[in-house]
Amino acid sequence: MPFKPLTAREIMLLHDMLIARYGGAAGLRDRALLDGAIARADARLAYGDAAPGSLESIIEATAAVASGIVASHPFVDGNKRTALMVVRSLLNLNDIEFAPPRGEVVDAMVGLASGGWSERDFKGWVAKHSTMRDTPSNTPSKPH
C-alpha cells in the first residue's frame, strides 16, 4: 500500500482548525519549514529500512513529518498540537488506527519538543499504539 501524504495546504487547514478551537496565535511563520517537514516523509520512504508500503514504513514517514513540524516550528503557535493532528490524520488516511492512552499524548509531544525523545523514540511510541485496519485495500484476497 503506497503512503498517502497530506499536502501543506491540508496541514495549514488542520493548524487553523486547532487554533480556532483551542486558542493561540494563528499563522504560518515560514512555508519553507513546513515544506521541509513534509519532505522528510519522502526521505524516510526512499531511504528508510522498512519495506515500502508496510505499516512500519508508513509510521516512519508519519513520525518524520511530525518530528519535522515540532523541531522547525513552521507555525507561529500550536506546532505540537498540529504535529499530533498530522500523526492522527496521516495514519487515518493510510488505514491505520492510532489509539494512544490519553495520558501519554502530552508526554510524547513535550518529550519530542524538548529533545527528551528522539524521532526514533517518537516513532516507537506511535508504532506501539497503531494497528492496520482491515480494509479491502490491505486485506489479502482468499482463494475461492
The yes-or-no verdict on residue 71 having pLDDT over 70 is yes
Reported pTM: 0.92
C-alpha–C-alpha distance, residues 69 and 41, integer Å: 12
pLDDT of residue 136: 66
| Alpha helical stretches, state H, the chain | 8-22, 31-47, 55-72, 79-93, 102-114, 119-128
Q: Where does residue 53 rank: exposed (0-12), middle (13-18), buried (19+ CB within 10 A)?
A: middle
Query: Which of the residue ranges 4-13, 87-96, 120-129, 131-140 would you say has the lowest mean pLDDT?
Result: 131-140
What top-level class would CATH report for the domain 8-132? mainly alpha
Query: pLDDT category, 141, cuts 50, 70, 90?
Result: very low
The residue written with cell numbers 494497528 in the block is 131
Give the separation between CA 26 and CA 15, rounded to whole angstroms.
8
Give the pLDDT confidence score for residue 139 in this predicted structure: 54
Query: Measuring CA to CA, which residue among 50, 109, 128, 61 is closest to residue 89?
Result: 61
Domain ranges for the chain, please list them: 8-132
pLDDT of residue 135: 73
